[in-house]
Each structure stands twice: as C-alpha cells, then as structure tokens.
Amino acid sequence: EVQLQQSGPEVGRPGSSVKISCKASGYTFTDYVMNWVKQSPGQGLEWIGWIDPEYGSTDYAEKFKKKATLTADTSSSTAYIQLSSLTSEDTATYFCALTTLYWGQGVMVTVSS
Amino acid sequence: DVVMTQTPPSLSVAIGQSVSISCKSSQSLVYSDGKTYLHWLLQSSGRSPKRLIYQVSNLDSGVPDRFSGTGSQKDFTLKISRVEAKDLGVYYCAQTTHFPYTFGAGTKLELK
C-alpha cells in the first residue's frame, strides 16, 4: 500500500526558512516523480513543482522558483521541500503527491513573528 | 499557464439528487501521446484531496459508478448521480497535460 507520511506542523518567523519532509513507502521511490502542492487557508490548490528522485531533476511553477527548493533522499525514500524567505503569503498547507492519486496528509506552515 | 475554469463555485443539493460540475480549460488538454490528462478530485473537510476520476472518464478503484466524467479537448463535466452525504466537499478538476499543472478553483457541494 502506497503511503506518504509528512512531517508535523511548522511555525516560521518572517524571513526564515522551513523544511518539510514526505516519507514514501509501498512502492519504489525512484520510479515516480514526487509533486508538491500548496493550499492557502480557505483556498484552492496550487502546484509547486516536482522532483525526480532518481536523478534529482526538478521542475517548478514560475511563482515558486525563488520560494521552494525540492530535494530527495533515496536512502530513506524521503522527499523534502524547503521554503525560504518566509512571508505571510507562505502560510498554507503543503501536500506531497504521487501523481494525482496518492497524497500525503498535508503539513500546515504558519508564518508568524 | 493553462487556466481551468470550474463552474458553479457552489452547489446546494438534496440527498438523492443528481448534479453536474463543469470544467473548461484555456487550452486543449490532449497530450502528444493522444491521452487527455484531466482528473477530478474531492477534498472533504480537513482532509487531503482524493482522486475520483483520471484521464477524463476512468474511475479510480473503489469509486462508485454514481460518478462519471465526460468531455474532450477543453470542455469537461463531472456528474454525480444520487448524491449521498459522503459526497459532500469541494470538487476540483486538475490538468497534468501542460506544465505547470493547474487546478480549477473548486466547486463546493453542500446539503440543501
């Protein structure tokens, strides 16, 4: 059974960075790209980008190119997203997703001083 | 970016009623392999999205056949027959044909 287990909620100060993890199980981690999706409070879904864990290659939506950095650790089957230079606009829930079928439970990131 | 226009933004429905949700894209969603990567997701309150239908009309495992998807090119529809209480939530269409992937704004299905 495919499972995507994400890390816990984060609180970050404005201007700081946070790093969220997504541990995958139930399939071969390097066989599929991992997507990341943002959902601002009460809003819809925005695709951030994907990472190919086998090669480390990435692709980002334009608006997230300077905000998000995607990485993956094949030894632990874990994907990561780091969000930098946090502002209130980054307060949201962040999901990892394998294709559009399997989703992590989401991580709430709150930016607050 | 491909804009996904979803209507209506909300639907008030009685149990047992049938409803339809429209999703129109600003570009054709037919990929170079001939397939159309338009999907429908349901997000129930406080939960992760769940995919119901992939590639326009294919039901995911465990999804009841009360759900159906139709359409082509730029115009797609999700139909729910005989709505049940567990169907309530926000429905999203999503395209994964073009980068960046994009989603509709959502249709909130509520009880009348």
Q: Which of chain A's residues have a Cβ under 8 Å away from the Cβ of B54?
A: 100-101
Which residue positions in chain A have pLDDT lower than 50? Answer: none
C-beta atoms of A103 and B48 within 8 A: yes
Average pLDDT value over all residues in chain A: 97
C-beta atoms of B104 and A44 within 8 A: yes
In a 3-state reduction of DSSP, which class is residue B32? coil
Tell me what pLDDT residue B46 has: 85
Residue A111 to residues A59, A94, B68, B97, Cα–Cα distance (Å): 25, 13, 40, 33
3-state helix, strand, coil in chain A (%, to 5): 10, 50, 40
Residue pairs between chains A and B whose CB atoms are closer than 8 Å = 45
* Tens place of pLDDT per residue across chain B (112 aa): 999 999 999 999 999 999 999 999 999 999 999 999 999 999 998 899 999 999 999 999 999 999 999 999 999 999 999 999 999 999 999 999 999 999 999 999 999 8
CB neighbour burial string for A23-61, b if at least 16 within 10 angstroms, e if fewer: bbeeeebeebbbbbbbbeeeebbbbbbbbbbeeeebbbb
Q: Where are the beta strands (DSSP E) in B1-112?
A: 4-7, 10-13, 19-25, 38-43, 50-54, 58-59, 67-72, 75-80, 89-95, 102-103, 107-111
AA identity, residue A38: K
Nearest to A98 by CA among A17, A35, A13, A11: A35
In a 3-state reduction of DSSP, which class is residue B28? coil
Closest partner residue to B105 (CB to CB) among A35, A44, A103 is A44
In a 3-state reduction of DSSP, which class is residue A31? helix
Tell me what pLDDT residue B63 has: 97
Tell me what pLDDT residue A24 has: 98
